[in-house]
Structure 1
């Protein structure tokens, strides 16, 4: 990119915890955060927030009477947004933009109000305003009192990385100096999980690692859903307090062969990664944080695409879905968190059930991938 964009803050709430220190500590452990839990009438593998993270969400919910009617997808995003703004040193009322998306939005509230309607043919007054996807960014803008634009969107599993694209575009256009971007998802609900099971991609594993993301030898699909939110603060130029710099962005959409799948060699990923690289030599990329949802075709097609682009020297490959599940619209931003932590700590976090040996003396550049239903891929190239 011709103009540098600095990431001056990063905050999240996820199964890993509520701080970067806590997240990094959990990444250093081989164990995962997936549990078998009864959701509705059936037990399913899920990755819920930790107990103390849920306590923090309840405190936020109780801090304002208006927040009691909000879905967890909004509350998770507000929690992470407050922490990101504090880290960046931004102030309440500052003129910054907000773009936070979600794949599914207010899933729990939507299911609750729909059940209410089926029973009584009536529903609550707040059923409509509290279940719109626009809820997330608008409530963050309200909570942080920003004067800038607020944008919400859903581009399924690449939602959060599309938010990064939007933030970068606004800043590069000169229409904004800084932008908060991210994704939030609270999908651990009966209907949402039933949808994934209907696609026959949900994990039935009873092994030590229920989600076998990036295991290209697996014989069954092993996707597991998780919940959480993650936010970045973007600012124009190279800032002294930058956690990382966005060096390149790429995006692509491919013609669908099937409602949920991408091509065998993930042409959309090939184009998005090539675009993100720009004039950068592929051999300079040290690590790729893959989308790798834990499905047979999804993991393999992305690996095939990487092999096409990085022919001479394969970067180290990793993913976090074996540890925290697939958080849909928030997943790309939680992958960004892993990438930034590896850049900061100068340590590769691999997948424990794979034979991976880190040969990188330094981690200077990390690429992050995400793709959603519809073949809409995004790749972000980060550097120290």
Structure 2
């Protein structure tokens, strides 16, 4: 990549917590933060935000009458964006790109349930304006009073890393000096989980210490678990003195679909995206890879096969966070990016305790982050310590 980009601030909320210290400490525990939830017709594991995190969301919701009708995904994006922007000294013309795979999931489902029950087929006045995908970035921009562009989009589970790509493109084009990017997903609903169960990819073992066995290549069944979370990152041009990490390269690719949900056995899209991100780097300098690894049989294996194709016998240390927090769908890529930034900052590798491929790296200077979603849209981002 011709122009390096700095990540100068970062904030998130997930089942790991909502403060950097809490999140990092929870990463150091060899335990899952997935919990069993009751969804009326069935029980299922989810990655749910903590009680303290929910209090923060509720406090924000009650702070302004306009916010009471907003979806949880919008509130989470606003909360993390406020925290990220509080860490930088930006003029009020920065851009905002917060994406989501599913958008206002809970609110949309609630409105639809009420519509079905209404004898006249009526729905609430604010149904349409509060459930459109553009709500997320628009409300973040409104809340922060920025005059820059605001963008929301959905590219399935690679959505948030595409937000990072968009922010980089705007900065490199000269159309914006700074960009707030990220993702927000609040899809821990019965209908969403039922959809994943219909695909036969959801975790079913209710006694397991690790319900999601992401990066376990010896598992005999699919173990994906849905989680919720939001992340906001501040991007600036060049290598900033205040950089948490530096984006050295980016890659993206799609591949021809053979099935509605799957990528090829050797994940050609990942091979292309990783090679693009590593175009100006020596493969031997990559110390670790934060894999997408959703915990499914084909998803984990195909990405690993792609890594083997690209790196040969010199495979870097591999890790993922989905065994801890679940698959946060559109947010998952930036939560993986957050893990990479934290490992670089603390110079400590967070391994997957049950994975034979989660070896300890000799050093941590450069980390590759992968993300992909339905449709074969892969993104890879190469990070380094400043």
Q: What band does the TM-score fall into relative to the shorter chain?
A: over 0.9
1:137-165: CA deviation from partner (whole Å, max 9, x where unpaired): 00000000001000000001000000000
Tell me how far apart the structure 2 counterparts of residues 21 and 84 of structure 1 sit (CA, whole Å): 15
1:42 is displaced (CA, Å) by: 1.2
Tell me how far apart the structure 1 counterparts of residues 357 and 255 of structure 2 sit (CA, whole Å): 31
Instruction: Please give the TM-score of this superposition, normalised by the length of structure 1.
Output: 0.98
Tell me how far apart the structure 1 counterparts of residues 308 and 7 of structure 2 sit (CA, whole Å): 29
2:138 aligns to what? 138
1:89 is displaced (CA, Å) by: 2.9
1:34 aligns to what? 34
1:115 aligns to what? 113
Q: Does 1:275 find its partner at 2:276? A: yes
1:354 aligns to what? 355
1:359 is displaced (CA, Å) by: 4.2
1:207 is displaced (CA, Å) by: 1.6
Tell me how far apart the structure 2 counterparts of residues 115 and 329 of structure 1 sit (CA, whole Å): 24
1:52-107: CA deviation from partner (whole Å, max 9, x where unpaired): 0000001101111100000000000000000000112336xx11000000000111
Residues 261 and 356 of structure 1, relative CA distance in 2, 3 Å threshold: closer
1:356 is displaced (CA, Å) by: 5.4
Tell me how far apart the structure 2 counterparts of residues 58 and 359 of structure 1 sit (CA, whole Å): 40
1:9 aligns to what? 9
1:99 aligns to what? 97
1:316 aligns to what? 317
1:19 is displaced (CA, Å) by: 1.1
Question: Which stretches in structure 1 are left out of the alignment for 5+ residues?
Answer: none
- Secondary structure of 1:87's aligned partner: coil
Tell me how far apart the structure 1 counterparts of residues 200 and 336 of structure 2 sit (CA, whole Å): 24
- Secondary structure of 1:36's aligned partner: strand
1:39 is displaced (CA, Å) by: 1.7
1:354 is displaced (CA, Å) by: 1.9
Tell me how far apart the structure 2 counterparts of residues 195 and 224 of structure 1 sit (CA, whole Å): 12
Q: Write out aligned runs for 1:190-339 (5 A).
A: 190-205=190-205, 206-339=207-340
The answer as to whether partners of 1:350 and 1:356 remain within 8 angstroms in 2 is no
1:49 is displaced (CA, Å) by: 0.2
Question: Which stretches in structure 2 are left out of the alignment for 5+ residues?
Answer: none
1:8-63: CA deviation from partner (whole Å, max 9, x where unpaired): 00100110111111110000001111111112421111110011000000110111
1:177-228: CA deviation from partner (whole Å, max 9, x where unpaired): 0000000000111111111011000000232110000101111000000001
Tell me how far apart the structure 1 counterparts of residues 175 and 351 of structure 2 sit (CA, whole Å): 39
Tell me how far apart the structure 2 counterparts of residues 292 and 325 of structure 1 sit (CA, whole Å): 10
- CA RMSD after TM alignment: 0.9
1:357 is displaced (CA, Å) by: 6.5
- Secondary structure of 1:88's aligned partner: coil
1:303-328: CA deviation from partner (whole Å, max 9, x where unpaired): 00000101141100000000000000
1:383 aligns to what? 384
1:206-255: CA deviation from partner (whole Å, max 9, x where unpaired): 32110000101111000000001001100011110000000000000000
1:57 aligns to what? 57
1:340 is displaced (CA, Å) by: 0.2
The answer as to whether partners of 1:8 and 1:243 remain within 8 angstroms in 2 is yes
The answer as to whether partners of 2:216 and 2:356 remain within 8 angstroms in 1 is no
Tell me how far apart the structure 1 counterparts of residues 14 and 198 of structure 2 sit (CA, whole Å): 26
Tell me how far apart the structure 1 counterparts of residues 29 and 155 of structure 2 sit (CA, whole Å): 32
Tell me how far apart the structure 1 counterparts of residues 2 and 315 of structure 2 sit (CA, whole Å): 26
The answer as to whether partners of 2:351 and 2:360 remain within 8 angstroms in 1 is no
The answer as to whether partners of 2:231 and 2:335 remain within 8 angstroms in 1 is yes
1:75 aligns to what? 75
1:349 is displaced (CA, Å) by: 0.3
